[in-house]
Amino acid sequence: RIKLKHGSHREGKRTDSVMQKWRGNGLGQFIHWGLYAIPGGEWNGKQYNGAAEWIRSWNGIPKSAYDSLIYKFNPINFNADEWASIAKNMGAKYVTITTKHHDGFCLWPSKYTSYTVANSPWKKDIMKPLVDAYDKAGLDVILYFSIMDWNHPGWRYDIKTKADSIAFEGFKKFTRNQLIELLTMYPKAKGLWFDGTWDKSWVKQAKFADELEAEMRKLRPGLIIGSRFRADEYGKRHFDSNNVLMGDYEQGWERKLPNSIADVHGNDWDCVMTIPENQWGYNKAWKGHIKSSNELIEMTAKAVSLGGNFVLNFGPKGDGSIRDEEKKLASEIGDWMKVNSEAIYNCEYSGLEKQDWGYFTKKREKDKVYLIIFNTPVSGAYRVKLPAKTAIAKSYLLTNPNMDLRVEEVHSNEYFIYAKPTTEAKPFVIVLDTKKKENNGGNNYEKAK
């Protein structure tokens, strides 16, 4: 092990209640909203090919023209309660909201810059009504914060000269001030989701970022901080030079999911996902592959089956309304969650060998295993392999707990569970109540003939 001053300060998962709650959330909503939602991926009738929230970086637009969008920010259809109810009805247990994206525009009236809602026609704080609305709806709030800030004169991609270094010192103070300001103004926020920390300028700030993380944790005990915030003194990000996760959860799964438990190294993690291929901010063009609710439910199940949370992104329009396509998907996912969320909430990695029909989840501290079925075998038999000392006490459809499913032991600790596929092509859940095997190895189901 390398001696590190600014590496990870924690081994293993946090066991406090705030982190346990986060761990059990399963499904979250991401909100990307800001000035970029006004052009919506288009400028002077031309479509921008990249992600809409990056349109400022497009050569086709003078930076000053983009920055002047502040004078157009007047979201007359903004309704925080509506956003919160969409998330609640989808079955999300928390929301991650952009306070400031790479463009530097602040959705809260920050004292440390004039580039905020306070100096827009809207004038009012956006973050407070959002935090209050989601809190009232029973969802936890995580604040997204981009370190990279294209609007701040002190931002640098790298620090090459003395002048760079002086400018960046000012930027670091500004960044610290804004983060302390956010935690002070919105004490209900449970955590932080950091972005824009890959450039050399920030990677070189191991000591500063480490001390800032400590200051934030002192100010807000229990705060949940993502691994993308800081690098160690050797420039290692997410995992320090001893391969220990920095922060409280891994933020490496952006628009991609881990494939096996080996990929997550026993850590907490979230996967943040766009509905189109790669659009976080609102894009007028709803083009390319748009994920269906079945696809998104499967990603949610896969994430929970590997011990993580799935956070689905919504990009409200410049006027503050949420597009119909996103509302429809949220409601379809919600319809499924209303029936099946027992297999998602407070569930974790089961330790069981993955099978072709779908994903296992396991209720934390219970002997309950869920089979979330996406691929119905023509045999109607769902293979399950259990550890030696575990037996199946009962097996049934989540939607029909009174009808025991037929269980056949095909050989020791390997079973077929027989269930009729549901009528419509929607994922469904088989429940296994497990128990410790009696020493005679007796089980109350038929042996293979």
Contact set with ligand EAT (CB under 6 A): 32, 51, 53-54, 195, 254, 272, 280
| Shortest Cβ 214–ligand EAT spacing (Å) | 25
Vertex 244: Cα angle to 242 and 246 (nearest 5): 120
Q: Which residues pair with 30 in a beta bridge?
A: 96, 313
Vertex 269: Cα angle to 268 and 270 (nearest 5): 145
Q: Report yes or no: 147 and 195 within 8 Å, Cβ to Cβ.
A: yes
| Shortest Cβ 369–ligand EAT spacing (Å) | 33
Indicate the residue among 22 and 370 with the shorter CB distance to ligand EAT.
22
Tokens of residue 425, six digits: 């092509």
Q: Report yes or no: 404 and 396 within 8 Å, Cβ to Cβ.
A: yes
Indicate the residue among 53 and 348 with the shorter CB distance to ligand EAT.
53
Indicate the residue among 195 and 240 with the shorter CB distance to ligand EAT.
195
| Shortest Cβ 330–ligand EAT spacing (Å) | 19
Indicate the residue among 299 and 410 with the shorter CB distance to ligand EAT.
299
Indicate the residue among 230 and 363 with the shorter CB distance to ligand EAT.
230
| Shortest Cβ 98–ligand EAT spacing (Å) | 7
Q: Report yes or no: 190 and 18 within 8 Å, Cβ to Cβ.
A: yes
| Shortest Cβ 255–ligand EAT spacing (Å) | 8
Dist. CA 59–CA 368, nearest whole Å = 55
Q: Which residues pair with 408 in a beta bridge?
A: 416, 446
Indicate the residue among 54 and 83 with the shorter CB distance to ligand EAT.
54
| Shortest Cβ 97–ligand EAT spacing (Å) | 12
| Shortest Cβ 54–ligand EAT spacing (Å) | 6
Indicate the residue among 83 and 428 with the shorter CB distance to ligand EAT.
83
Radius of gyration of the chain (CA): 24
Indicate the residue among 48 and 54 with the shorter CB distance to ligand EAT.
54
Phi-psi group of 105: left, alpha or beta (phi > 0 → left; psi -120 to 50 → alpha; rest → beta): beta
Indicate the residue among 101 and 362 with the shorter CB distance to ligand EAT.
101
| Shortest Cβ 32–ligand EAT spacing (Å) | 6
Indicate the residue among 53 and 298 with the shorter CB distance to ligand EAT.
53
Indicate the residue among 115 and 360 with the shorter CB distance to ligand EAT.
115
Closest residue by Cα to residue 350 from 294, 297, 399, 390: 390
Please identify the residue of the shown chain whose CB is closest to the bound ligand EAT.
280
| Shortest Cβ 102–ligand EAT spacing (Å) | 7
Residue tagged 């983009």 (tokens): 66
| Shortest Cβ 233–ligand EAT spacing (Å) | 24
